[in-house]
Chain A
Amino acid sequence: MSKILIVEDNEMNRDMLSRRLARSGYEVVSAVHGEEGVAKAESEVPDLILMDLSLPVMDGWEATRRIKAKRDTASIPVIGLSAHAMKDDETRARQSGCDDFDTKPVELPRLLGKIEALLNRRPSL
């Protein structure tokens, strides 16, 4: 079972996303801000990270940069999530190291497609 780390500050969004992903057959762990996200990426070693970009304490762009800078976590694929459907959000997300990007509100089938694509690309450990 693939393990997904959700970094999301909004409680309802986090709850919905983790429950729906759990129902789709993933093991889900979560973090509420960027710093915790970086820490959990190291301690939990998830197969994929869903990273909200507007986060307190440390924003998603910075957290992604740090995750991608560490040798242990650099290979974990990250999908950036943003409520602003703005193109510069996506550009900035990719510049920070995100492997893919999606907008909120989440359309589950589309997000699942992106998750599967990234997981399949990565040889399972």
Chain B
Amino acid sequence: MSTAAVRRTPAPEDRERIHPLVGLDYRVRVPAMLIVAFTVIAHFLDKPQGPLLWAAIVFTGLLWPQIAYLVASRARDSKRAELANLLFDSFMLGCWAAVISFSLLPSLMIVSAILTACLSVGGPRFAVWALGSIAAGALLMASVTGFHVVTEDSLITSVLSVAGTLTFMGIFGFHSHIQTRRVVKAKKELADQKKQIQDQYTIIEKALQSALDANDAARQATQAKSAFLANMSHELRTPLNAIIGYSEMLTEDAEAAGQTDQVADLRRIQNAGKHLLGLINGVLDLSKVEAGKMKLYLETFDVGKVIEDVVGTARPLVENNGNRLEVLCPPDIGSIREDITKVRQVLLNLLSNAGKFTENGIVTLEVWRENRLDGSWVLFRVRDTGIGMTPEQRSRLFQPFMQADAATSRKYGGTGLGLALCQNFCTMMGGEVTVESEAGKGSAFTVRLPGEIENFDGEATSVRVSTLGRMKLSDIALAGARAASPTEAALPKCVLVIDPDPNVHDLMARTCSKAGVAVIGARDADEGLRLARERKPDVITLDVIMPGADGWTLLETLKSDPAVSTTPVLVVTIADERDRAIALGASDYFVKPVDQERLIAAFGKFRTDRVA
């Protein structure tokens, strides 16, 4: 690896970790430098030398391996420091070759050992650097000591050199054997993991399918139930109309005849009938919402006018209990586009509730506009100083047929459907109802409706069918996807996957199609480059390890081609060479096996970067 390629500051976790190469080199360097030292001593055995040579021999044989280890292990980028150490090794051994007058066997041992080491650690380019370093050391030393060449060695030197060469070859051979075994083992593990992941994926897919099926069945059952309820309600209303109508007629007759005792009883029949009718109408409305048959009749209307109208109707109801009704509505509140009947029904319901549960108090209706990140809203708040609710009562509030409790129903009457309907209507209209309340202090209901006159298509009214049932379902289906990819909106349209492994293509196609991303695939470098140029994908994923071609070269080509150089490339591979990939222009780096959700989330990230 060329040192020029290592430009990125290592990630924090890398600083904590010493590269395994440092330890490996230490274990090789300790015996290697000793062998070199003894070979040098053997060379000078019958020629007495000064203390300088002895110092150099001690430094090389005993001190340098320790120093090299310390330097590399304390470096911020330990791998880079170790490569520098290897270059220093090369330089120093070049010097020794000159000192021993290029004596054939020892020099051969020295050069072959350091070259093999550099080649195995840093690859051919690094080996060339090392060769240069050896030459530099040799030239420098030769220029100091003079250029001698000795062709004959003493027996002991030759024996030591041959033994040293054999030792090095043994070490590297053994090392290569271990590496091969590791690679084979890792590949096998990877295949196992892949299979496991795919098995799990299949199980999850099946579970999801059965959950969706169950959901479907439940929805059908709910719809059937709602349709039944709607029919029932209609059938119930006909006889009820007769009960109410005839009791009204009898009341009129009795009043005309002055039979006051009968009038009271007849009015009870009427009131009971009207209460029942209200219940049935509520059930009918609720079942329509649930069955997806409730329609919204959208029209643009003035909020102020509706408030005026609603207050007119509600004032007698509220003031019945000795309450005061206060209205706070700015005159410039403007218009909204909603179903006016339902808005009126919701507000009337909240006001009459407030009046019902408050005695000798104040009921306030407040209207205002709010502009928030998610748009413009109109808010209506009905606040009372009535009996209020405990948190427990509040939690049951919006459920059909649930009043605060049974005692409340007896005392205050009512069907218990009003608030459930209010909430359903508001949800249909794209808003919501919220409540704040404290027992004994009163309640405040806030309705929030979209304040913009949106999607106005020119017609005076348009119809929006309630899709509450379906909305709930799709929410469930989408929840997972949303949680996994918050950048969903920014996901790319098209991803090019360059990978020799057909399983990867299969997996990517499945996950991406779920996220709504189109996938095109290439199995080799040439096809990958061609598709990148022709199809202009938004994001490319690339496995740099490809048979018969160098993925690194492809990455360089992609990044230097002006037509595709701006397309983010995510390197997804088994090799651990993040720095190299980033240096060559990759946007991100993933080591296989990859968490698909993370990968897809990364697509979104780089898509946004690119657009920005």
Contact = CB atoms under 8 A, between A and B. Distances in A.
A13 B245 contact: yes
Contact of B341 (A87, A104, A105, A108): A87
Interface residues of B, number: 18
A57 interface: no
Main secondary structure of the interface of A (DSSP, over half): helix
Contacts, number: 36
Contact of B246 (A16, A23, A86): A16
User: Which of under 10, 10 to 19, 20 to 34, or 35 or more describes the interface residues of A?
Assistant: 10 to 19
Nearest to A104: B241
B5 interface: no
A83 B237 contact: yes
B327 interface: no
Interface string A1-41: 00000000010110010011001000000000000000000
A106 interface: yes
Given A83-B237, A87-B341, A105 B245 contact: yes
A13 B248 contact: no
Given A87-B297, A87-B341, A105-B277, A10 B245 contact: no
A16 B251 CA distance: 13
A105 B252 CA distance: 17
A76 B87 CA distance: 110
Contacts of B277: 105
A106 B245 contact: yes
B241 A13 contact: yes
A104 B240 CA distance: 11
Given A19-B249, A108-B248, A13 B242 contact: yes
Interface string B230-250: 000010011011101110110
Interface string A85-108: 011100000000000000011101
B249 A16 contact: yes
Contact of A16 (B237, B240, B242, B341): B242
A83 B245 CA distance: 14
Contacts of B241: 12-13, 83, 104-105
Contacts of A16: 242, 245-246, 249
11 contacts: A10-B238, A12-B241, A13-B242, A13-B245, A16-B246, A86-B295, A104-B241, A105-B241, A105-B245, A106-B245, A108-B248
Interface of A: 10, 12-13, 16, 19-20, 23, 83, 86-88, 104-106, 108
